[in-house]
Each structure stands twice: as structure tokens, then as C-alpha cells.
Amino acid sequence: MPTHSLPIRSRSVNVTAGTVRKLTSGPSTGKYQATVILGEGRGAKKRTKTFDTPKAAKAWQHETKAGGLPSGDAAEQTLAQAFDAYTAANVLRPNTAKHYAVVRDHVVRSGLGGRKLAKLVPSAQNEFTAWMVREGFAGSTVNVYADKLNAVLCFAAADGGLAFTPKAAKVDHRPEDVPAIALADVRALYEAAPERFAPAILLGAFCGLRASEAAAVTVADVDWTAGTVRVSKAVDARGQYDRTKTKRSVRTVPVPANVLAQLEPHRFRAPDANLAVNGRGRRLTTHSVGRAFGVAADDAALGDVTFHALRKFFATSLLARGVNPKAVAQWLGDSVTTMMARYALVQPTDADIARAAIAATFDAVAAA
């Protein structure tokens, strides 16, 4: 990843070769942080990067000093370069660094990545948020990515790269207020989905997998005898395998025989073959899952729904049938608190179920 940096603001800077030090605290404890100062005075620029070994850190220092930095101040850098500068100047957890790389890619795809900071205006943040909404990103994802863009812009503003004060542009998103889709909707989605993508619909609606998790499931992850699917990985924006959202997300989910029967054609493929793939037979990315689902939703005349609706359908269906909430939360890879807040929705049939339960209790008391 490029490591262009913004100008540092210190009037007094060290213009020596740089330093390599072993980190003794924080998420990168035990690693080696290399620092290079290029230039002098207020025009000096600083690069910092973390490595596993001191040898790698020193090699990077040597290459950086030899290559130098491109001329121009912070305002002349592009937004994509500002992302590079932010990740180079901060000690980030590995997953956090990956998330910033993903947001950087989306910023480039949106058309904003090549814009110089001096040319950016406040509405650029709204522009990026609107682009994510049009692309079908979940509301929670839109807000997380908007926050990360805002962090980068605040970093750039501190070095004089922006002429305005950044403020994250978010969407009003309350997932607990969104109703679950109906049985007929799931059937329509499954029938409308291309054959190669259809397994993802099953994994979302009947196993509760997130889009990134459904795209990562391979033949070997399914225990056809025990009737389970193992969730241990996800895909990222590039289609590469990545960690699941949280440690709790690593789980084993029961799969009924009738759902396994629909997946049976995949059983004797290569163990590392993905159950759901794109139109070219390649592994799905987080973006291509959303795009393929959007096409299926349009064909099924469902309007503005996302893949997350399948996960909600799975959870609300089990809860409505009296399945242990702790078990449902475990299969979702969520805490019980999160699961109840997002998926324990009030259903139209709840009143009838409550009347039947109260009536049964009344009869039992009367007969006692």
C-alpha cells in the first residue's frame, strides 16, 4: 500500500535518518515501528509504518529515504492518498486497517478518490453516503464507512489539506424498525435468483448468514451427515477470505434436511468450491452479493430490500416458533441483547398466539 504522508505541523523536526523502535504497548505490542523524516522545517514530512521484524523495518526505511516523497503540500494530495497517509501515520489493529482499505476502495469506485483535497467541498461526504445507499449498502454499513471517511478528512484538515471542517454524513438507520420479509417473498427471491447465486439465498434465509459469510461458504464447510454448516470466515470487498465480523460470529448452524436437499447438487464438488458464486463462476465479493441480490429482488418485485432481510427472516421465524432465544443468538453469531433488539419484532399473529396462551393458562387454573 502506498505510504504518502501529509506534512507534519511541528516547527522543529528531526531530519536524521529516522528511528526503529519496538512497541511495548497497544495492539501492535512486540512489533517494530519504523519512522522516516523527509525534508526540513515546516515542510518536513513523516512516514511511520509497523513491521514484524527490525530487518523489514530498516529495509523499508532505506527504500523510503531513497524514493523520497512527491512534491506538493497536503492540499495537493488526492483523497485516496489521504487514506494512505492516515493508515501510515496511525497504529491500527489489523482488522481496522483492512476496513480503512475497503473504504478507500469504495471511495475510489465512487469517483471521489482521485479528487485533490483542495478541490473537495463539504457536500463530498454527502455524495459518498448517497453513492453507498444507491449501491445497496446496509444502513449500518453506510454509517460505519461514513465515519471512517470522516476520520481521514479530519486527519487531513489538521494538516491544512481541507478548507472546511468535516462532519460525517449518515443515514437514519434503525434496523429494529424494519419488518421481516414474508415466506412468499423468500420463495420469490429464490426462484428469481440465478442458479449460481441461489445457494446464498438459502444460507441467508434458513441459516441466518450475513452476506459476506454466505459468499465464503465452501463444500467442506457443510457437514452433510450431521446437517450443519460451519461459519469460520467471510469475504471482503476484493473477494478474498477474511475474518468473521466478531469472534462470536464463528459458529456452527443446524441445517434441516429439506434445505440440504436443495444444496445436494454441490455435495460432490471440490471441497474448497464455494456454494454460491457470481455469473462467471468466481467467488463473490461483498459488493457483488449486494448487486446480485438487488437484481433478484427487482425481478421478484420486492422493491428496496437487502440481503440482511434474509437474516432477519431467519431470526424472526425461529423466535416466533418459540425457539430458545439464546440458541437463535448463537446461530446468528450475535449476543442475545443485540438479537432481541434487532430481530424480536412484533408480528401481526402475536395477538392470536397470546390469546391462545392465555386461554390455555386460564383453563389450567380453572381445572386445578
Distance (Å, whole) CA 236 – CA 14: 39
108, 114 in Cβ contact below 8 A? Answer: yes
Question: What is the mean pLDDT of the segment spanning 3-8?
Answer: 37
70-108 confidence digits (pLDDT tens):
434 667 788 988 898 888 888 887 778 888 988 999 999
pLDDT at residue 173 in the model: 60
DSSP codes, 155-219: HHHHTT--SS----------GGGSPPPPHHHHHHHHHHS-TTTHHHHHHHHHH---HHHHTT-BG
pLDDT at residue 71 in the model: 36
Task: Look at the block and give the residue holding cell 450443519.
Answer: 228
Distance (Å, whole) CA 289 – CA 38: 44
Q: Give Cα separations from 277 to 4, 114, 197 (angstroms).
A: 36, 31, 6
pLDDT at residue 232 in the model: 96
**Higher-confidence residue: 294 or 18?**
294
205, 186 in Cβ contact below 8 A? Answer: yes
**313 grid coordinates:** 427472516
DSSP 222: E
DSSP codes, 33-46: EEEEEESSGGG-EE
Question: What is the mean pLDDT of the segment spanning 15-40?
Answer: 73
174-202 confidence digits (pLDDT tens):
554 455 688 899 999 999 999 999 999 99
Q: Give Cα separations from 237 to 86, 131, 287, 330 (angstroms).
A: 20, 16, 6, 26
**252 grid coordinates:** 456452527
**Cα distance from N-terminal residue to C-terminal residue, the chain:** 74
Question: What is the mean pLDDT of the segment spanning 281-309?
Answer: 88
pLDDT at residue 334 in the model: 92
Helix (H, G, I), strand (E, B) or coil at 88: helix
Alpha-carbon radius of gyration of the chain: 25
DSSP 233: -
Q: Name which of 145, 150, 149, 124 is nearest 135 in CA terms.
A: 145
- The pTM score is 0.56
pLDDT at residue 66 in the model: 53
> Mean pLDDT for the chain?
83
**171 grid coordinates:** 443515514
Q: Which domains does the chain have, with CATH numbers?
A: 1-70 (no CATH), 72-173 (1.10.150), 177-343 (1.10.443.10)
* 91 HSE (CA, 13 A, CB side): 16
Strand partners, 242: 234
pLDDT at residue 347 in the model: 66
Give yes or no for residue 42 having a pLDDT over 70. Answer: no
39 residue type, one letter: G
332-351 confidence digits (pLDDT tens):
999 998 888 777 766 667 77
